[in-house]
Amino acid sequence: MNYSKVEECIKTILEEIGEDSKREGLLKTPSRVAKSFEFLTDGYSKNIDEILNDAIFREKYDEMVIVKDIDFYSLCEHHLLPFYGKIHIAYIPKGKIIGLSKIPRIVDVFARRLQVQERMTQEIADTVEKYLLPRGVAVVAEGYHMCMMMRGVQKQNSITTTSAMHGIFKSDARTRSEFLDLIAKRI
């Protein structure tokens, strides 16, 4: 990322909205925003193969594996405002399992981009399916969108839920229901 170019753009935005970019509280804002955007969009620079780091293992386990309540933070590609929430991921292995810490890392790769929740949900499911070739993958994302909460319709308590179901989670209602029941339960 070209920091000086991004900083100059932020300075221009500040001035165009009527601010004095030279006042004390805003002097370092362009630099802070540039660093923030680099962090919030670092998913573009991540490589799934490197993140997985050979943490896929042969295992005979063939029951549902769920990692739920994975926090995510992303930026809406339409307004550049944050959206955040929880993601729940399940898969039914067919000879391969993945190191559990890799699942939230996959989430971060796709969340740390300019996104829409629908695409992010699908990208996560597609990636788990591609690398594990399981009997099925299920992903549910629940998000709070600041573009709906702070502006526009201003509905602060609205939650957007998206899902992606592959394999047995799509074709078998009982498997899908078991997953949905398990992610709804709180320990």
Instruction: Indicate which residues carry an active-site annotation.
Output: 76-79, 117, 145, 147
Q: What tokens does 99 get?
A: 């190191």
**DSSP conformational letter for 28:** T
CA of residue 99 relative to chain centroid, distance: 19
Q: Are 41 and 111 in contact (CB under 8 A)?
A: no
Strand partners, 165: 138
Q: What tokens does 85 get?
A: 């929430």
Distance CA 36, CA 40 (A): 6
Nearest by Cα to 127 from 140, 137, 117, 135: 137
Tokens 């309540």 label which residue? Answer: 69
Buried b (16+ CB within 10 A) or exposed e, 67-103: bbebebebbbeeeeebbebbbbbbbbbeeebbeeebb
* DSSP per residue, 86-102: EEEEEEE-SSEEE-TTH
